[in-house]
Chains A and B, each alone.
Chain A
Amino acid sequence: MGFNWNWEFTWEILPKLLHATLNTLMAAGLGYAIAVVLGMVFALAQRTPYWALTKVVREVIEFIRSTPLILQIFFVYYVGPQFGLKLGPWTAGMIAIGLHYSAYLSEVYRGGLEAVPKGQWEACTALNMSTRDTYLRIVIPQAIPPALAGMGNYLVGIFKDTPMLSVIGVAELMHTANAIGSSSYRYLEPYTLVGIIFLAISLPTAGLIRLFEGYVRRKLGLK
């Protein structure tokens, strides 16, 4: 078989793939939103005075980071029902991917939180601020800017990992391309298009993240 690109077929499947791209973006966005919040919870939970909590969270994070995402997706979707946790593919997928990336993001946050100088904490004590206000108003706003580069990497990462959701039937880009392939026996065009779509989104995103980082630093007066 030689190289045989069919333009007519390409134009025919493109709308379908672009439509699936919306699902991919939604999966990445939702998964990331979960990870951003849950990651901070994990990071903060390791800073409480309760060492048992720290230890448990630490182990959970290590466990999540040391096992493949695809296994976690399968686990939530197929093993969950045995424990009475019956979830649709979307919900199961979002939980798995959100949880997975929250483990990575919590490490990024941890670095940012630890980088906030001790003097900031002492100033908060001297102003008699509560621990809650100290975190929400003083420490976290200073921990985020240095964490933005790492957070951005994982945003692109989660986006590129969404094809794994196809294994449990989430109708994202990869799933759609597979379906096209198996019904038409043409794989070259759909997979090539998937690659181009991923590239066309990933590359500008990385640039935008850098711009955003600069904007946040200026906005917070940290430059």
Chain B
Amino acid sequence: MLGLNKKDTGLLLIVAVLALFAPIIFNPFPSDSAMAQFNAGYPDLMQRFVIFGIFAIGYNILFGLTGYLSFGHAAFLGVGSYAAVWMFKLLSMNILPAIALSIVIAGVFAALIGYVSLRRSGIYFAILTLAFAQMSYNLAYSVLTPITNGETGLQLSLDDPRILDGAPESVGSLPYPTLLGFEMSDTYVMAAGGWQFQFSVGYYVCAVVLLLAFYLSIRIFRSPFGMMLRAVKSNQQRLNYTGVNARPYTLAAFVISGMYAGLAGGLMASMDPLAGADRMQWTASGEVVLMTILGGAGTLIGPVLGAGFIKYFENIFSKINDTILHQWFAIMPDGIEDVLVALVHPFVGKGWHLTLGILFMLVVIFLPGGLVEGGQRIAGLFRRRKTDNDGDGDTGSSTSKDPAE
């Protein structure tokens, strides 16, 4: 289907089903239960899963295929966000021109940075991209304040021209980003028993874009171009000796992944019309590297899993405070309750970085191929047992049994 082989079609379908039912899948606990703390099925977090998934898919095209470790990809995300917010301010609240411009600007930006940085490889390339990204961050933070609004971040304001939208219907309130007349913030809340499922327009727009981005990434992985990129990764010198100039290929991969980052930035601004300089900081660039490695570099689904994993920790674990811990352990006797709270305390709330760090170490040590490798091992276990028992039917968890490539 769609020019994909059977395995890839299956993978795409799994991602599509996951994306479609995410508001239900990520909300497994009734909203008044104690476990509701762990629900991730609210629009903002699901949008973040998807947007950072797109960002990581794009990053993986560069890092996973060519092996070039870029430490400056957040710059493209930031540039994309600024471009999108400026479109909202000047042209229209429709998200299509905003996203289109953010992809184009990020692409041009990536071409400039890539042209210079790709003259070197390995650690020198990483440092060059890091330097460019930090430069962009510092410029956005102070010198370019007329364009970026500095520390405060670029926001919409009431007196923006918005030439295509004409006069706003209600003076005094800011307009929302729209697509075909639907506001991104519209949410339909479905109450089913104790559960509350939130279906948000913004999320589904992101999900559709994710599917397109994922499909494109599969096609790039399977194309002759993708094969050439893998050749660059395995031995660039040999490639040079055979008379192939690798630089156009790496530059193309760099620009494509930059455009992916711009797309993610534009989407982020469409869901929440603000662009801040700290989106470009080196920690943000490092985060996408972590996502890719955690999920499994060079695999199709890995980056998406890694992005979801990190964003889940950032948003869910950071919000568990001592009061909640005391509620959990309330059934224990007082002394034991306090001890348990004291034991768990360093790992939740402001200690979420610690938990994430430990998990990252465990994954890198025991599963060098990332979460995807973990999924494959589990699937392998089941498969062996299945042949033993001669059983059939669905096995493994739906997210983790995906093949690596």
Question: Is A bound to B?
Answer: no
